[in-house]
Amino acid sequence: MSGKVVLVTGATNGIGKVAARELAKMGATTVIVGRNPDKTQTTIAEIKQASANSQVHGLIADLSVMDSVRSLAEEFKRNFDRLDVLLNNAGAVFSERQETADSLERTFALNHLNYFLLTNLLLDVLKRSAPARIVNVSSDAHRMVRRMNFEDLNSEKSWGIMGWKAYGQSKLANILFTRELARQLEGSGVTANAVHPGGVSTGFGKNNGGLMALMMKAAGPLFMKTPEQGAETLIYLASAPEVQGVSGGYFADRHPVEPSPAAKDDAAAQRLWEISAKWVGLAARV
């Protein structure tokens, strides 16, 4: 990965942090995105020490807020002239429904619209850097919903137990977005794939406190992967020569797997793209 630039969101803990560290070890100029400035600086120092790579940088953004996503893309372009790998990893589940300053439900905004907007804003530099790769972290939680509920993308009517239905829909959106993105990028030299990292014992879900935090804490040591195990497929898709040119896939444990029937609905993928573009104020096609 020497000479390449990678951008990793959600990189101050968990699988994002491990992926950033391992890609830095491979020699990549590694740019991490965090929300907390102090935590981001600490993570940069840790990755530099672990990788013996001085080219580790940080950018600050609240990726659930679309103006912050736009500012992130602009700041990246001011400081870097190429992008070889975009790893969209930032995400969360919320036990109670929240709205952002954009009047968007926070799960959908952070887990899907962030991916959609940031990717589109960086496509020009990705194309200039081709061959380049986009890796979108999804989840088998997409199987919890039977289809995209286009009548309630903002989860005003149907939230689910502790927000898991909204989370599942956002993860289905990740795969549909990846599928349509790959279709639109055919012939550009830029690939896009989605990944299921598996259940990983990190801080995921613990931001909520209460019952959800207790459940995640208890489940971690018993049933979940370590962050190192969970990050393996992210790193593989970001760097492995054997997946150069592979696009539109859904991967788990370093292998392509079949997502749910709803995640292979091309009409739904195109409809989601059109709606997402409208909600974030972008042109409908790359």
Catalytically active residues, by annotation: 167
Q: Return d(Cα 160, Cα 71) in angstroms, integer.
A: 32
Q: Return d(Cα 97, Cα 110) in angstroms, integer.
A: 13
Do 52 and 75 contact (CB within 8 A), yes or no? no
> Angle formed by the axes of helices 14-25 and 37-51, to 10°?
40
Tokens describing residue 251:
């991967």
User: Which H or E run includes 256?
Assistant: strand 255-256
For 208-213, the CB contacts below 8 A with 24+ separation are: 208/93, 208/94, 208/95, 208/96, 208/162, 210/95, 211/95, 211/162, 212/93, 212/95, 212/162
Q: Give Rg (Cα) of the chain.
A: 17
Of 48, 58, 109, which is closest to residue 80 (Cα–Cα)? 58
Do 193 and 136 contact (CB within 8 A), yes or no? yes
Measure Cα distances from 273 to 64, 265, 280 in Å. Answer: 18, 12, 11
